[in-house]
A and B are shown apart, each in its own frame.
Chain A
Amino acid sequence: MIQLSNVHKTFNTGKPNQVVAINNINLQINAGEFIVIVGANGSGKTTLLNLLAGNILPDSGLISIDDNNVTRLPEYSRSKWIARIFQNPLLGTAADLSIIDNFRLAALRTQNKGLSIGKNDKFKSLVKERIATLNMGLEDKIEQPIGTLSGGQRQALTLLMSVMDTCKILLLDEPTAALDPRSAEQVLRIADDLIRQYQLTAIMVTHNLKDAGKYGSRIIQMGEGEILKDVSGSEKQNLKQNDIYDWFG
C-alpha cells in the first residue's frame, strides 16, 4: 500500500540549528493496517506524517502509494488517496463555512470542484443521515457555521468527512491532543469504528500511551528520526501499556 525507501529529511541544512528529522527510513505499510506511532517530541513522528501527506517533500528517497511514485507530488494531488485529521480541530475544517459546505468539499476530495451546485437536497439528506450516526444531535444544525461547534464535535465531523469520498489512507496527527478526556475517547472510538467499517489504512501519531496500547494493529516507536521499535500482530495485541512505558525508560 505505502512504501518508503531510504527517505531522508533534514531541516535548516547548513545552519547552526540543522536537524535531521527523518534519517534514511525504510517502511512498508500494508493495506488495512492501523499503525500507531509513538515517540518523544522531536523524534520525527509528525514529519513522517507530513512526508506521507505531501506538505513536506523529502531530501532523498522514494515514497510510493499503491505503486505510484508520489515522492514529489504536492499535497493537493495526494488527496485522491489520503484524508487527514489535524491535531488542531480548527485546521481540519473551514470555521466560517456551514457544516454542509464543509461536507460538500469533503465529498469532492478526490474530484474536481466544478461550476455546478452539488449541495442539493439529496446531498443534504445524505449528510444528515451520516451525522445522525454520531448521536451528537448535530444533524439539525447543518446550516450552522462549523466554527460554532466544540473541538470534539468538529473532530468527530472531520472524521466523518474523511469517508464522504473514497478514502484509502487516513492520517491522524494527535487527533485528540486538544480535547478533554471524554471527547478524546469518543473521537478515537469513532475513528476506530470508521477505520474498521471502511477498511482504511490508518496511521495515527499519539502521545497517549494508553491509546497506543488500546488501538491499532501495529505500533512503531520513533526516536531521532529513526524507527526504534516496530511491533505488529498478536505481539501488538498482547502489548500492555506498561510495556510501552518501558520503551521510554
Chain B
Amino acid sequence: MDFYLTALLQGLCFAGIAFGIYISMKIFNIPDITTDGSYTLGGVVSGAMLTHNLSGYLILPAVLLAGALAGALTGIIHTKLKINALLAGILVMTALYSVNLTILGRSNLPLLNMPNLFTLITFTTNINQNSLIILTGFVLVFTLLIGYLLKTDFGIAMRATGNSEPMIRALGVNTDRMKITGLALANALTALSGYLIVQLQGFADISMGIGIVIVGLGSVIIAETIINWLRITSVWWSLVLVMAGAVIFQFVLAFTLNIGIDANLLKLVTAVFVLLIVGLPRLTGRQA
C-alpha cells in the first residue's frame, strides 16, 4: 500500500509539470519542451538553497522566478527571433543543463535529514501521510490560483491567444508578450514540480529531468481524453482532471513495477502507455 502512497505523492508533485504542459500545449498551442531543463532548474535551485540553509520562504519565490525566466527565454526566442517553438525549447533546455550543473556544483546533491517543506508542520508522525497532507494543500492552493487566473479577463485573453491570434490581436492584445508570459508561467509551474520532488525524495540530481516532459504530456493527454469523453467545458474540472492525470500516470507506473516488470524498461513502458492513451480513441473510433 505504501508503494501506491508514494506514487500518489509523486503524482501530486508532478501536477506542476502537468499544469505547465496544459498551459503551453493546450492553452497556447505551443509545443514547449523547455520542461526537462526548467524542472531540473527548480530542483537544483531548491537543493542549493536548502544546503545553504536559506529560508523556505525565499526558496519558493526563487524557484518560481528561475522557472519563469527559463520559460520567458524560450518565449522570447520563439516570438522575437521567429524560431520554431520546439527548437527554441531545445536550445534553452540544452543551455540549462550547464546552468543547472553550475548551480548544483556536482551531479548529485543529497538533502536528507534537512528541514524542508514536508517537515514544516507535523500533522501526523507518519512521514508519508504528513507529506501527503502538506502536498495536497500545496497543490490545491496552486490549482485554485491557476483556476482563478484562467477565469480573469487576462486568463480569457490567454486562452484566446492560443485559439485565434488574428482575433485577439484585433482586440488589442500584444500576442508576443502574451506568449512569453504564458511560457514563463508554464515553466514556473514546471520548476515548482522540481522543487517539490527534490524535497520529497531528499536529493537533487542533474539528470532528474531527462524525459520528464513525457510525464506532463501523458498527464495532459489522460486529462484531455476524459475531458472529451465527458464533454467538460468547465475550467475548474479541466484543471482537477489534469492534476488527476498526473496521479493516474504515476499509479500506472507503480502498477507496472509492482507486477514485476524490469525497472530498466520503465521508460519504454511509459512511452507505450502514452501511445496507448493517444491511440486508443482513434482505434475504437474506427470500429464504431
Contact = CB atoms under 8 A, between A and B. Distances in A.
Contact of B170 (A75, A97, A118, A143): A75
Interface string B37-80: 00000000000000000000000000000000000000000000
11 contacts: A55-B169, A76-B172, A76-B173, A76-B175, A84-B170, A93-B167, A94-B164, A97-B163, A104-B156, A117-B151, A118-B152
A86 B159 CA distance: 20
B255 interface: no
A106 interface: yes
B171 interface: yes
A115 B170 contact: no
B172 A119 contact: no
B156 A101 contact: yes
A113 B157 contact: yes
Contacts of A97: 156, 159-160, 163
Interface residues of B, number: 23
B154 interface: yes
The contact size tier of chain A is: 35 or more
A79 interface: yes
B164 A95 contact: yes
Most chain A beta-carbon neighbours within 10 Å: one of B156, B166, B175: B156
Interface string B110-137: 0000000000000000000000000000
A82 B169 CA distance: 11
A106 B159 contact: no
Nearest to B148: A117
Interface string A87-110: 000111111111001101110111
A115 B168 contact: no
A95 B163 contact: yes
Interface string A110-151: 110111111100000000000000000000000101000000
B233 interface: yes
A117 to B, nearest CB: 5
Q: Main SS of the interface on chain A?
A: loop
Contact of A114 (B154, B168, B170): B154
A91 B157 contact: no
A113 B153 contact: yes
Contacts of B174: 74, 76
Interface in B207-262: 233
Interface of A: 53, 55, 74-77, 79-80, 82-84, 86, 90-98, 101-102, 104-106, 108-111, 113-119, 143, 145
Contacts of B163: 94-97
B141 interface: no
Contacts of A92: 164, 166-167, 170
Nearest to B160: A94
A111 to B, nearest CB: 8
Contacts of B167: 86, 91-94
Nearest to A144: B233
Contacts of A74: 174
Contacts of B175: 76
Contacts of A117: 148, 151-153
Contacts of A96: 159, 163
Given A79-B172, A80-B172, A97-B159, A114 B166 contact: no
Nearest to B172: A79
Contacts of B172: 76-77, 79-80, 108-111
Contacts of B154: 113-115
Those 7 A-B pairs whose CB atoms lie nearest each other, nearest first: A79-B172, A94-B163, A94-B160, A113-B157, A113-B153, A84-B170, A94-B164
Interface in B90-106: none
B169 A108 contact: no
